[in-house]
Structure formats: C-alpha cells, structure tokens
C-alpha cells in the first residue's frame, strides 16, 4: 500500500528513520499530472533504491506573473495511482502554505548558467527551481534524485547547485521519453488542440535534421541554426522563443562544433510553450 505524506515534519522524520535503517532513498520530484516520462524516472529509481519517494508539488516560485501556474494541469488521484502501479513507495504532497509560509524570505540563486536558454525568457524561473529543489532535498533527504533530460538546463543547474553547496545527493539524468511521432512528453502537451499537437512534431523534427547535418560533417553552428529556424518557421502555428547550440556544461553558445554539443530550443505553438533538446556527438 502506497504511503501518502503531506506534512513536512512527517516526511523529514520518516526519511530520517529510513536512513537510520540503512535504506537507500531514491527521489523523483515532480509537479504532477504524471506521464510516461515521469514513470520512467520512478522505474529507474526503483532499480537502485530501497525506497522510492515521489513529490507532487506545483511550485509557484518558478512561474512568472503571466505564466500558467493557476492553469497548470493537476490530477492528484490519478497521479497517486500511477506512482503505486509503477512501484513508488511514498508520495509527498506538501501544501504551498507549508513550503512557503507567510514571511518566507530565503531563495537559492545559481548564477551565469541560468542567464541563457529558458533563463533568459523566464526571469526568476531557475531561482524558483533551485529553491524548491533545495527545500525538497532537505525534507526528503534522498541519496539519489532522478530528472529527465527534456529539462536539460534544469539538470545542469541542479547538478551545479548540488556540487557547489555540498548537498551529497547523486543526480541521475534519464533520457527524454517521446511519443511515437517524436514529441517529448510533457504535462503541457495537454494544452494542445489537434492541429497544434500535429504542429508540435516540428520541434524534434528540426533537431533531428540538425543532427543529420552535423553527422554529415557540418560544424558551423550558424548554418545549423539557420536550418532549424527554416524548418520551424515553415510551420504557421509556431513561433520561436529561442534556438541555441551550446556547451553541455557551461551552456555557452558555441560557433563551431568540436565535441559533444547540446541543441536546445523553445517554441510557442499557439499559446503553449514547449521545449526540447538533443545531445549530439560530432
């Protein structure tokens, strides 16, 4: 029977008890409305952990004032069923009032690597991400935490934060899980109408075309950028937020591809903003 915990103090005490017994805690932090991408993380956690804890918390501090915090899809009952059927042991669902009580003043801000990609178009987003992940690590006390590559910049930020703050949590990044037509699984895909859903395949299609060009020998990132842009703007429902070709650790733009590189983009389809990325070896 899966265990549901909604109080921070109860979660802390339970995790402390597990650690004292020598149990390895695997942790999958989520904002809920779980899909196969999330469930794949739970399965991976199950392979290398004694206890798998999944948090469900739509974090208000990572949403901008004009973003979709109130509209973000939620399905707690369905999420709990999915966690249980996938082998999770505990679901942690803290209320906002406990995570950010009245008078809350403390935030975690990772510099430089949050200034590009999603950080440039969503000011303050990664400050909210770093803060909530720090709090969750302090509450859940995991040995290992699992994240998906789809949110590539987030994984870089969290790894840096864990390293810089000596948190002692192993960060494991798992491959992006995709629909049959290549679209990266995302809770926000539920916003798309049928026409937008069809148009959304352009993200992965453009990235794969760029990968083919690189594999064929192209190294000039301006040429690769132009090709990605051409494919996306040919889809009338899409508008580009960013296209970046960056170093996988510093996230700095590069001019010529000489080593493993990240191709990352964000595209608006109607009113829905989707992100995707691939890692390419020249």
Report the catalytic residues.
38
The CB density around residue 192, as the number of other CB atoms within 10 Å, is 20
Helix (H, G, I), strand (E, B) or coil at 91: strand
Biggest CA–CA distance in the chain, Å, is 58
What angle in degrees, to the nearest 10, is found between the helix axes of 8-20 and 125-140?
Answer: 50
Pairing type for strands 51-56 and 3-5 reads unpaired
In angstroms, the CA 69 to CA 30 distance is 14
Residues 6 or more apart whose CB falls under 8 angstroms from that of 198 comprise none
> Which residue do the tokens 């970046």 mark?
244
Q: Starting from the edge strand earliest in sequence, which strands make up the sheet with 238-246, in order?
A: 238-246, 261-269, 272-280
In angstroms, the CA 90 to CA 87 distance is 10
Cα dihedral 181, 183, 185, 189, rounded to 10, equals -110
What angle in degrees, to the nearest 10, is found between the helix axes of 125-140 and 152-164?
Answer: 60
């Amino acid at each position: 029977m899966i265990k549901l915990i909604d109080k921070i103090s109860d979660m802390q005490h339970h995790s402390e008890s597990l650690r004292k017994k020598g149990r390895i805690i695997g942790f999958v932090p989520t904002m809920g409305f779980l899909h196969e991408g999330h469930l794949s993380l739970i399965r991976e956690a199950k392979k290398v952990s004694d206890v798998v804890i999944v948090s469900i918390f739509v974090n208000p501090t990572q949403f901008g004032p004009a973003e979709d915090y109130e509209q973000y899809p939620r399905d707690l009952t369905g999420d709990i069923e999915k966690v249980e059927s996938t082998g999770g042991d505990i679901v942690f669902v803290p209320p906002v009032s406990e995570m950010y009580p009245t008078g809350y003043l403390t935030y975690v801000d990772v510099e430089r690597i949050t200034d590009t990609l999603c950080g440039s178009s969503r000011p303050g987003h990664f400050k909210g991400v770093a803060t909530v992940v720090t709090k969750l690590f302090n509450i859940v006390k995991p040995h290992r935490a699992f994240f998906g590559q789809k949110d590539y910049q987030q994984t870089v930020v969290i790894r840096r934060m864990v390293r810089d703050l000596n948190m002692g949590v192993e960060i494991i990044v798992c491959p992006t899980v995709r629909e049959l037509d290549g679209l990266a699984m995302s809770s926000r895909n539920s916003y798309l109408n049928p026409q937008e859903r069809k148009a959304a395949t352009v993200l992965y299609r453009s990235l794969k075309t760029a990968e083919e060009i690189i594999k064929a020998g192209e190294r000039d990132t301006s040429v690769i950028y132009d090709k990605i842009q051409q494919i996306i703007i040919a889809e009338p429902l899409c508008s580009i937020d960013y296209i970046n070709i960056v170093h996988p650790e510093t996230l700095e733009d590069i001019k010529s591809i000489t080593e493993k590189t990240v191709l990352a983009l964000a595209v608006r389809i109607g009113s829905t903003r989707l992100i995707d990325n691939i890692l390419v070896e020249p």
